[in-house]
Structure 1
Amino acid sequence: MPQALPYLRETPSQTAGPYVHIGLAPGAAGFDIYREQLGRRIIAPDTPGERIRIEGCVFDGTGAPVRDVLIELWQADGEGIHPHPEDLRHADCAPGFRGWARIVPDFDTGLFVIDTIRPGSVPGPNGRPQAPHLSLWLVARGINTGLQTRMYFDDQDNAADPLLALIEQPHRCDTLIARREGAIYRFDIHLQGDRETVFIDV
């Protein structure tokens, strides 16, 4: 009954359990229980676009790698099109491109690997173009609410990106920039500490 709502007690908050990564990405933990693992493939072999590899770790406040984190990724294709009906151009999205994935790091080293294509620029608020980026969401034990962040590229022009322009301490923009190291991009995420990654309140 609506009049009873003020008397309902608040549900206590809980962090994600220690096995959340296994529940959401069981194949990465060695459990072959699904015909197709959800979120394992971002692109198909024939998807057009520049292939890129991203490697990194998620670190806790002590600098130790978080090995049981789950990362969800969203991105546009090489032309800046999302494969989602809210993108008016979604019918023109690259073939075989999903634009979404679940990534689990190596349980021994904490290193995560993302094999995808370089995203294109997408429209932002008021039609302003956003610099090419990946949107990332993290969940792990000890995190009450999933953490949202972005990853940009150091070899792209990020100067006019509207989200980066909102960061009050410009030097912290560096925590969102992946660095090209030979054939890969390196992107580490720091949950706390002096190098804490900028997280987005969405």
Structure 2
Amino acid sequence: MNQWNFQELHETASQTGGPYVHIGLLPQQAGVDVFEHNFNNMLVNDQTAGQRIRLEGQVTDGLGLPVRDVMLEIWQADAQGVYPSQADFQDKQADPAFRGWGRAGADFKTGLWSFDTIKPGSVPGRKGSIQAPHINLIIFARGINLGLNTRVYFEDEAEANAKDLILNSIEWEPRRQTLMAKREQRGDDVVYRFDICIQGEHETVFFDI
């Protein structure tokens, strides 16, 4: 019988998501063309049902400076509140023209990131509850050992937000506001602004997932 000497096993050194995260995961943004099909920030096409929106913002550090080498991913339900995944057991058909997942890098000069998507519908929650429309978002960047998970809610969904169990588990109202995307109308385009603060007085709420 083999005997393991666990004293010889040492903890693996931790690593952060960078500084070369774009070369491996968003090579086109780094000027490297290696993938036949590149991941991007476009979740919709001309056949996608629902209200077309743009989600955009900046990630800032504790000093309020934009983080310009950050990468973000989002995962969301379609306009009917159905995730395009076998893990969604609702008796509804997911929109075949909606991808539900996207990846974007911040602009190297401005730190601005964006996704072209649709406003999601409400999805079932725990104990028969209904979750307010939201988008799941995760952040990767150098200096971050584990991805930072958060949620994007919509300020113009006040009634649904008031009933959301996860959102209302955050006791302090100013902290809840860090998860609210602000609606803007730019001509015919609907834009939701969602700025993320990694640390400091106005730190965004992150979830331990």
How does the TM-score come out when normalised to structure 2?
A: 0.91
Q: Counterpart of 2:64? A: 63
**1:190 paired residue among 167, 178, 197:** 197
Q: 1:3 to 1:172 in 2, by over 3 A?
A: same
Between 35-44 and 125-134, report the one with greater CA deviation: 35-44
**Is 1:199 aligned to residue 191 of structure 2?**
no
* Structure 2 counterpart of 1:177: 180
Question: 2 CA distance for matches of 1:76 and 1:5?
Answer: 45
Q: CA deviation at 1:90?
A: 7.9
- Sort the Cα spacing of 1:60 and 1:49 in 2 relative to 1 into closer, same or farther, 3 A: same
Cα distance per residue 1:63-114 (max 9 Å; x no partner): 1101111101000000000011010248711122110010111111111111
Mapping for residues 1-202 of structure 1, pairs under 5 Å: 3-5=4-6, 7-89=8-90, 92-156=93-157, 157=159, 158-182=161-185, 183-202=190-209
Measure, in 2, the Cα distance between the counterparts of 1:106 and 1:72.
15
Q: 1:141-195: per-residue Cα shift (whole Å, max 9, x none)?
A: 0001110000000111310111111113222000000011223111100001111
Cα distance in 2, alignment partners of residues 106 and 61 from structure 1: 19
* Aligned residues of 2:102 and 2:115 also touching (Cα < 8 A): no
Amino acid at match of 2:29: A
For 2:3 and 2:203, how far apart are their aligned partners in 1?
Answer: 43
Paired residues of 1:75 and 1:134 also in contact (CA < 8 A): yes
> Do the aligned residues in 2 keep the contact of 1:80 with 1:119 (CA within 8 Å)?
yes
Shift of 1:14: 2.1
* Counterpart residue type for residue 159 of structure 1: A
Q: How far did 1:17 drift?
A: 2.1
Alpha carbons of structure 1 residues 125 and 6: separation in structure 2 relative to 1, 3 Å: farther
RMSD: 1.7
How far residue 41 of structure 1 moved from its aligned partner, in angstroms, is: 3.2
Give the secondary structure class of the aligned counterpart of 2:74. Answer: strand
Q: Structure 1: which 5+ residue stretches go unaligned? A: none
**Using the alignment, how far apart are the partners of 2:116 and 2:169 within structure 1?**
29
Shift of 1:38: 2.3
Structure 1 consecutive aligned stretches of length 4 or more whose deviation exceeds 6 Å: none
CA distance in 2 between counterparts of 1:42 and 1:52 reads 10
Q: Aligned equivalents of 1:4 and 1:144: distance in 2?
A: 28
- Structure 2 unpaired stretches of 5+: none
Percentage of pairs with the same residue: 51
Does structure 2 conserve the Cα–Cα contact (< 8 Å) formed by 1:69 and 1:104? yes
Q: Offset of 1:6 from its aligned partner?
A: 5.5
User: Do 1:21 and 1:140's aligned partners in 2 also have CA atoms closer than 8 Å?
Assistant: no
